[in-house]
Amino acid sequence: MGRDKINCVVKLVSMQPGVHINTEIAMEVHYARSIEHKRILPLIASIKHGDHVYLVSPRMKCDLKEALPYIVSLKSRLIIALEIAEGISYLHSRGIVHRDIKAPNILLDDGNHVKIADLGLCKAEAMMNASIVGTPLHMPPEVSLGVRYDKSVDVYAFGILLWFIHDGTGRLPQNLIIGLLMCPPMMSALGFRPERLSHFNEKLWSLMEECWQPDHAKRPSFDIITKDLQSIIRSLR
């Protein structure tokens, strides 16, 4: 019997003497194999050969960072945001925290549907500690301060990502540029947040602000985020 052909991409990772990168590879393989959801990029195979690991996954069209300037309609961009929220909501329902939600880790297929990738920093919420991981631009105060945190770190990161999705140009917020120049690892703890632009939808801006609350207990769950996004999308022409 014949088999369906799948257009694949191979990610080559060199094993290093340091523990950190090897742990990330192991985690990416573990979670990609154990999670089956339409919004999570599947891992077709992992092959270890000498000091290298080959991770095989379906080929996607591009990542969200590349795509945003070409998606003119706000409604289309928010549908992508909704699909990201659905994917993260599923991870959270499994007790898994992604910890590195950002545009380059959001892949799009030919139909502009979302596949969340790079699961190397994922961790079971029950095993979370105060380790400082992620990308400074999307890092909430509790992570930069090195205190224990929970799944709401993904909510904060999503709120920052939502700013980029709404703006649609790919540019950095001016406020965060200043924060990156002053003190990148601590900028969220120092109160740096993206500025509101004149064309921003009021309800969407309010949702962003809720997501990047400094008090993690006040951030909404992804169930609430999903409902809010659905309501905002319905309100758009």
To the query of whether residue 51 is one of the catalytic residues in this protein, the response is: no
Domain with CATH 1.10.510.10 in the chain: 62-235
- CA dihedral sign of residues 173, 159, 118, 78: negative
pTM for the predicted model, two decimal places: 0.90
Domain with CATH 3.30.200.20 in the chain: 8-58
Give the pLDDT mean for 137-142: 94
Calpha distance 65→198 (Å, rounded)? 22
Task: Tell me the pLDDT tens digit for each residue of 50-102.
Answer: 777 778 889 999 999 999 999 999 999 999 999 999 999 999 999 999 999 99
Instruction: Give residue 39's pLDDT band: very low, low, confident or very high (50, 70, 90).
Output: very high
pLDDT at 226 exceeding the cut of 80: yes
CB of 138 within 8 A of CB of 185?
A: no
For 232, left (φ over 0), alpha (ψ -120 to 50), or beta?
alpha
Q: Quick one: fold of 8-58?
A: Phosphorylase Kinase; domain 1 (3.30.200)
Long-range contacts at 200-209 (CB < 8 A, ≥ 24 apart): 200/166, 201/74, 201/166, 201/232, 201/236, 203/228, 203/231, 203/232, 203/235, 204/78, 204/162, 204/166, 204/232, 205/166, 207/159, 207/162, 207/232, 208/159, 208/162, 208/163, 208/166, 209/159
Single out the catalytic residue among 4, 51, 100, 118: 100
pLDDT of residue 15: 66
Q: Of 155, 106, 175, 101, whose CA–CA distance to 133 is shortest? A: 101
Pick the CATH number of 62-235 from 3.40.640.10, 1.10.760.10, 3.40.50.700, 1.10.510.10: 1.10.510.10
